[in-house]
C-alpha cells in the first residue's frame, strides 16, 4: 500500500540528504503511525536507503547538522503533545543509529538549532498551551558527549520560532565560535504569525544578544540559508515543468557586514 508521509524534516550533508521524522497517515483508518524507517538519499547514485527511524512519531522538531552529527530537538506528537526528548546520530558511523541526548528542561517545538563540533545550540521555539502556540526565546546549549544536562543562556529578544541558527568558527580564537540567529516568526495578539527580520549574535563575554543587521523585506515565503560566510535570502518560483527553482534575492556578508543584492531580487 502506498504510504503518505507527512510533516517530516529534510537535511543535507555532503554526500546524502536525510528524510527524518513525521508520521505515516493511514487514509483508510484515519490513523497517524510511527514511520518504520527514516531515509538517506544519495543524489549521485540516485539510491534511497532506509535507516533506523526516530523512536517516536514527532513533528515540528528542531533539526541541524555539522557534517558529523545530525541532531533532532523537541517537537510534539501528531496529537500536539509537547516533547522534550532530543536525539543525535553520527552519520559517518554505519549503520546509523539514534542516540538519546539529555531531555530539554522544558518541552519546545519549532526551535532554531545549530551544531558545531558536537556543541548544540537550541534557541527559541513555541510551547503548546490549550491548543495555542506561545512563542518564546529561551536559549540552551549542550556539549556532546561531555555534558549531562542542558545549560541555560540568556534568552533572545525579539522572541521567535523556526529561526536559522548559524555556528561559525572564530578564526582568531582557537576552539571558539560565533553564534548567529536569523529570522523566524512570532505570533501577534490576533494569533497571526509575523516575520522577525533581525539577525543577532551572542556575546559570550557580556552574555547578551547583539543586533547585527535587519533583513530587508523579509517574507514568510522566503528561505534562509548560510554558506560561503554569507546569509542568503531566497525564494522559489514554480516553472513550466511544475517544479520549483530557488533563486537568491540578497546575501549578507558577515566578513564585510554588507548586504549584496542579487540580479534575481524582486
Query: Above 90 in pLDDT, residue 44?
Result: yes
pLDDT tens digits for range 82-91: 999 999 999 9
Indicate the number of domains in the chain. Answer: 2
Same domain, 135 and 104: yes
Residue 88 lies in a domain: yes
Model pLDDT for residues 195-204, shown as the tens digit of each residue? 999 999 999 9
Question: How many CB atoms lie under 10 A from the CB of residue 57?
Answer: 20
Distance CA 54, CA 35 (A): 8
| Residues 138 and 205 grouped into a single domain | yes
Assess whether 225 and 208 both reside in one domain: no
Q: What's the maximum distance between 2 C-alpha atoms anywhere in the chain? A: 59
**Residue 109: which CATH number?**
2.120.10.80
DSSP string, the chain: ---EEES-EEEE-SS-EEEE-BEEEETTTTEEE--SEEEEEETTTTEEEEEEPPSS-BBS-EEEE-SSEEEEE--B-TT--B---EEEEETTSSSP-EEEEPPPSS--BS-EEEEETTEEEEEEEEEEETTEEEEEEEEEEEETTT-SSPEEEPPPSS--BS-EEEEEE-TTSTT-EEEEEE--EEE-TTS-EEE--EEEEEETTTTEEEEEEE-TT--TT-EEEEETTEEEEEEEEE-TTS-EEEEEEEEEETTTTEEEE-TT--
Segment 143-189, tens digit of pLDDT: 999 999 999 999 999 999 999 999 888 777 665 789 999 999 998 88
- Are residue 75 and residue 60 in the same domain, yes or no? yes
- Residues 120 and 192 occupy one common structural domain: yes
Task: Spell 139-155 as b/e; 16+ CB within 10 A means b.
Answer: bbbbebeeeeebeebee
Mean per-residue pLDDT for 7-17?
Answer: 93
Residue 187 belongs to a domain: yes
The rounded distance, in Å, linking the Cα atoms of 163 and 108 is 14
* pLDDT, tens digit, 9 for 90 and up, residues 115-147: 998 999 999 999 988 777 899 999 999 999 999
CA distance 226 to 166: 7
Q: How far apart are CA 245 and CA 86, in angstroms?
A: 33
The residue whose grid cell reads 535587519 is 214
Alpha-carbon Rg for the chain, nearest whole angstrom, is 19
pLDDT tens digits for range 210-221: 999 999 999 988
Task: Answer whether residue 44 is part of any domain.
Answer: no
Which residues constitute the domain of residue 246? 221-266
Check whether residue 200 and residue 228 sit in a common domain. no
84 plus 192 within the same structural domain: yes
Please check whether residues 99 and 170 belong to one and the same domain. Answer: yes
Domain for residue 29, yes or no? no
Residue that finishes a domain, picked among 172, 187, 214: 214
Average pLDDT over residues 11-24: 94
Last residue of a domain, one of 176, 195, 214: 214
Give the integer Cα–Cα distance in Å for 205 and 179: 13
- Burial of residue 238 (CB within 10 Å: 0-12, 13-18, 19+) is exposed
- Same domain for 103 and 135? yes
Q: What is the mean pLDDT of residues 48-67?
A: 93
- 8 in any annotated domain: no
* Residue 206 and residue 227 in one domain: no
Q: Are residues 207 and 234 in the same domain?
A: no
Considering the domain architecture, whether residues 145 and 236 belong to the same structural domain is answered as no
Q: pLDDT band at 264, cuts 50/70/90? A: low
Amino acid at each position: 500500500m502506498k504510504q503518505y508521509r507527512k510533516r517530516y524534516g529534510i537535511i543535507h550533508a555532503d554526500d546524502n540528504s536525510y528524510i527524518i521524522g513525521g508520521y505515516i497517515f493511514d487514509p483508510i483508518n484515519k490513523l497517524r503511525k510511527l514511520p518504520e524507517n527514516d531515509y538517506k538519499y544519495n543524489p549521485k547514485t540516485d539510491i534511497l536507503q532506509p535507516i533506523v527511524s526516530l523512536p517516536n512519531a514527532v513533528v515540528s522538531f528542531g533539526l541541524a547538522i555539522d557534517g558529523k552529527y545530525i541532531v533532532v530537538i523537541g517537537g510534539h506528537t501528531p496529537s500536539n503533545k509537547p516533547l522534550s526528548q532530543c536525539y543525535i546520530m553520527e552519520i559517518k558511523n554505519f549503520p546509523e543509529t539514534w542516540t538519546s541526548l539529555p531531555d530539554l528542561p522544558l518541552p519546545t517545538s519549532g526551535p532554531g538549532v545549530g551544531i558545531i563540533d558536537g556543541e548544540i545550540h537550541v534557541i527559541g521555539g513555541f510551547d503548546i498551551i490549550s491548543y495555542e502556540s506561545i512563542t518564546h526565546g529561551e536559549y540552551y546549549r549542550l556539549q556532546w558527549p561531555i555534558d549531562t544536562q542542558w545549560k541555560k543562556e540568556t534568552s533572545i529578544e525579539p522572541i521567535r520560532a523556526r529561526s536559522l541558527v548559524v555556528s561559525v568558527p572564530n578564526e582568531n580564537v582557537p576552539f571558539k565560535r560565533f553564534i548567529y540567529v536569523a529570522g523566524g516568526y512570532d505570533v501577534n495578539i490576533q494569533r497571526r504569525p509575523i516575520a522577525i527580520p533581525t539577525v543577532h549574535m551572542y556575546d559570550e563575554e557580556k552574555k547578551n544578544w547583539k543586533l547585527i543587521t535587519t533583513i530587508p523585506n523579509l517574507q514568510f515565503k522566503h528561505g534562509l540559508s548560510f554558506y560561503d560566510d554569507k546569509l542568503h535570502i531566497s525564494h522559489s518560483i514554480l516553472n513550466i515543468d511544475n517544479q520549483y527553482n530557488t533563486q537568491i534575492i540578497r546575501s549578507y556578508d558577515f566578513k564585510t557586514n554588507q548586504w549584496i543584492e542579487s540580479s534575481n531580487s524582486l
